Amino acid sequence: MASKLEQLRSMTTVVADTGDIEAVARLKPVDCTTNPTIVLKALGTPVFADRVKEAVTWGKSQNGSSEAVIAAVADRLAISVGAALAELVPGRVSTEVDADLSFDTEASITKARGIIAAYKERGIERDRILIKLASTWEGIKAAEVLQTEGIDCNLTLLFSKAQAIACADAKAFLISPFVGRILDWYKKSTGQDYTSETDPGVISVRQIYNYYKANGISTIVMGASFRNAGEIEALAGCDRLTISPALLDELDKAEGTLERKLSPDNITEDPFQPIDEKTFRWMLNEDAMATEKLSEGIRAFGKDLVALRDMVKKELAAA
């Protein structure tokens, strides 16, 4: 019998949530997703030593070590990680707009255009890239503009149906609801343990998937941030799932039948709900989990962005 990973591939597009080149080459996902944490970790490995050296040399040629140069070198390194992954996967690579732009629509649009241009300079066209934006109101509005320009977006740090509805209204290409982080919040809040079927993160993604399919919404649902293989199995059939190498390996070794849990042929009615800014902000405010995890996620990515720039500053000073 095929492994559970192979069975999953037959019903869901499998994406690797990593910057680990060796793991991607071995596991052969369709797409790859990155974020500042993944980029920072990847750049600390020997695989990217030459790319770090190249970016630092380029930075030195830009007349000094100003904050603007440091940020530009950090951007160049993030693109280097994405470009290396693009060589290995047949599909898309997600690259994130800086976390400190999460509440600035215009700056996010400008940064996204710059990312696409930087990939094009390396011969990688926009149809191979997804721009990742935090699912703030400002990030969603940036995605709305970018989508009209043919720049496909991945709305990340998504924890609530309100965010999912707004992303659908913006015609975002893809959303990444965070399963494991939702579970983390509820375990800490209630002190309870959850099964795969009662997992609040799993339930959230199932509700969003049902809403999208019930209303003919084309935005792709890609579950993310998994804590265990049970969560993944409970979402078998979801459009896409982005999974860490450790859990991909676990599924590859797992035997038994994998039951399809989500299907567009098994949907319940869920009326369409248009959403404006006031409604979005109120619904998000009323969801303590989503409010806290969104803010926490932006802070965490912002911290790793600072760490990446600090690393660049040290490398420039030593060069």
Angle of the 277-286 helix axis to the 137-148 helix axis, nearest 10:
140
Question: Alpha-carbon torsion 101, 170, 19, 69, what sign?
Answer: negative
The rounded Cα 217 to chain-centroid distance in angstroms is 20
Number of helical H runs and strand E runs in the chain = 14, 8
Q: How far apart are the first and last CA of the chain?
A: 54
Give catalytic status of residue 132 as yes or no. yes
Transcribe 136-159 into DSSP letters. SHHHHHHHHHHHHTT--EEEEEE-
In the DSSP assignment, the letter for residue 90 is S
Quote the CA–CA distance of 68 and 316 in Å, as a whole number: 13
What value, to the nearest 5°, has the Cα angle with vertex 152 and ends 151 and 153? 120
For 95, half-sphere exposure in the C-beta direction (CA atoms, 13 angstrom radius) is 30
Quote the CA–CA distance of 156 and 174 in Å, as a whole number: 9
Catalytic option among 132, 161, 213, 293: 132
| Environment class of 56 (CB within 10 Å of its CB; exposed 0-12, middle 13-18, buried 19+) | buried
User: Looking at the annotation, which residues are catalytic?
Assistant: 132
